[in-house]
Amino acid sequence: MRIRETAGVKRVIPSGIRTFYDKAMKLASKGIDVIDFTLGRPDFKTPPNICDAAKKALDLGQVHYTPNPGLIELREAISRKALRDSGQHYHPETEVIVTLGSCEAIAVALATFVSTDDEVIIPSPHWPNYSNLTLMNLGNPVFVPLTPENGFRLKATDLKRSITTRTKVLFLNNPHNPTGAVMGEEDLKIIAEIASSHDILVIADEVYEKIIFEGAKFIPFASLDEMRERTIWVNSCSKTYSMTGWRIGWICAPTALASSMQKVHQQFVTCATSFAQAGALEALEGPQEIMINMINEFDQRRTVLLSESSQIPLIEIIPPQGTFYCFIDIRRLNLGSSEQVALTLLEEAYVAVVPGSAFGESGEGYIRMSFCCSSEKIREGLRRLKDWIEKKRSHEE
């Protein structure tokens, strides 16, 4: 057959996150007790008031197309949220687009503004969708390594070295997946100055903005001087409200950018699901106590993970300041690549993690553990990891 995938699709690398999740689920389907630390999927039920709002929308027959950019009531709520959180006003009719999660938001942004040989700067390790979607649009990812010495935070000197005449976009994921790093205000201000002086468009993926620990402070990038006009702000309900399957996210951007992205969004999906938008409206405007309780629970799980992992030899962790991920340095184990470690750990101890290589070359030598499961499972998973490492060490001796 003459039909072949496009040049852009040929460049895409399948997600290592999903690969190891699928391996874990295959073992679990056989009745094996797998401790799964792979996906960034909160294990909490969506708060009942959000579910009730969606059910009410269904009962009222709100099952048809909404306006392409989303229900105006939801866009108004997003606009109010943006003003509360960043001090920036986005007009709900012209500067807010409701998307199918942050995934579609990022896909729309790149499809709108990146074409052949445009360079997209991606601090790395990174969520693989950034690089894969850049590749699909025939752009070129330019990776800026994030190092443990810098707390996995993007530094101005490293960013400057990566800029060329073809640089068009900078991804800024804060708080950061997979490392849990949170950017400080001074570093963000310097990055803002660099973006402005080099006329770089910034895609600010801030979906973990509310999941912050130990007094860390989150600064919305669009709130910095002159950044609103060159920032595409991406967010969603998925992580904060445990709504990963609802697929509701959004873009906030100045009219000149949003009007172009709206054309692409319209062609991609027409609109986000109507009754899911009703649930998202309740999430943003309704009581926030359950969301706060979930974040407090993540904080407790983080404490358990850090305490238990401190008893495991030859691994090192920089405590995450945000998200629900822990990036663990396994280089001193000398057990092969991160993929080999993740695979044998799964096969021999039934503990599922994501190899650092799934997040780019800079992630090699690490594994990512999501603490989206209960404290009991975290303890059991780390007990298995410790026993597995000790067995490996005894065999070497």
- What are the pLDDT digits (tens) for 10-58? 999 999 999 999 999 999 999 999 999 999 999 999 999 999 999 999 9
Q: What are the start and end residues of each CATH 3.90.1150.10 domain in the chain?
A: 7-45+289-390
Q: Give the class (CATH, top level) of 7-45+289-390.
A: alpha beta
Under 8 Å between Cβ of 35 and 351: yes
**pLDDT given at position 397:** 58
Helical pair 16-28 and 338-349, crossing angle rounded to 10 deg: 10
Reading the block at residue 379, the tokens are: 């303890």
Do 268 and 104 form a contact (C-beta atoms < 8 A)? yes
Question: How many CB atoms lie under 10 A from the CB of residue 131?
Answer: 24
Taken as a whole, the chain contains a residue count of 397
- Residue 222: which residues within 8 A CB-CB, separation 6 or more? 82, 86, 88, 204, 228, 231, 233, 252
Q: Given this model, what pLDDT does residue 1 score?
A: 76
Topology annotation, domain 64-285 = Aspartate Aminotransferase; domain 2 (3.40.640)
The pair of structure tokens assigned to 136 is 């699909």
Which stretches of the chain score pLDDT less than 70?
396-397
Return the H-helix or E-strand segment holding 336: none
Quote the CA–CA distance of 264 and 135 in Å, as a whole number. Answer: 18
Distance of alpha carbon 111 from alpha carbon 232, whole angstroms: 13
Report the distance separating Cα 271 and Cα 275, nearest Å.
11
Give the model confidence (pLDDT) of 142-154 as tens digits: 999 999 999 999 9
The answer, as to whether pTM is greater than 0.85, is: yes
Q: How many other CB atoms are found less than 10 A from the CB of residue 129? A: 18
For the chain, residues classed under CATH 3.40.640.10 are 64-285
User: Looking at residue 71, what is its pLDDT?
Assistant: 98
